[in-house]
Amino acid sequence: MTLAAGAVAGVITLGTFGFYLIEPLTLGESLYLTVTTVTTVGYGDLHPRSIAGRGFATVFMLISFGTVGLLLSTAVQALVQSEIVAALGERRRHREMSKLHDHYIVCGAGRVGSRIIRDVQRAGEMLIVIENNAQKIEALTERGVPVLVRDATLEETLREAGVERARGLTACLPDDADNV
């Protein structure tokens, strides 16, 4: 992605100086003409007047079109790859959770939940934490704690965490009604 963005910057620099050297334009006008060419806007207010300028513009259009296409395809590829990796990670996590037996489920990783998590880990027991607070999730993940990023008050979340196969469940949510 960085390489593609650098290539676009290089093409804009090439076009700006190319038009500046070939056509009787200022650097600002050359940059403007370059950007309108690269973005394919082409307002028509500035255009190459000389044969050399038109030849350069033709070659520059082909080069810039390909370079911008590279940038866009690289961006789309990165987005699609991240989505695929996230989906595969979710599937793997789901498979791992389906294998859990005699584990503990901790709903909420606040002050009380964090102590319980620490104690269960010290005892060498398997656990899974259900949490939906981004800061707490990040801290738990950094410590290697398995986290299910869901709403702990939903029955399907508890089933996904393997409540039927769990040894125990502790509800440490901030609201008593949610804990019930």
Domain end point (choices 54, 69, 93): 93
Residues 125, 82 within the same domain: no
Distance of alpha carbon 125 from alpha carbon 121, whole angstroms? 6
Tell me the pLDDT of the chain (180 aa) as tens digits: 788 788 889 999 999 999 999 999 999 999 999 999 988 888 888 888 899 999 999 999 999 988 888 888 988 888 888 888 777 767 777 777 777 889 999 999 999 999 999 999 999 999 999 999 888 988 998 888 988 888 999 999 999 899 999 999 999 998 888 888
In 3-state terms, what secondary structure has residue 47?
A: coil
User: Taking the complete model, does pTM exceed 0.75, yes or no?
Assistant: no
Residue ranges making up the domain that contains 69: 2-93
Distance of alpha carbon 11 from alpha carbon 56, whole angstroms? 13
Residues 82, 149 within the same domain: no
Residues 89, 7 within the same domain: yes
Residues 30, 61 within the same domain: yes
- CATH number (domain holding residue 57): 1.10.287.70
Q: Report how many domains make up the chain.
A: 2
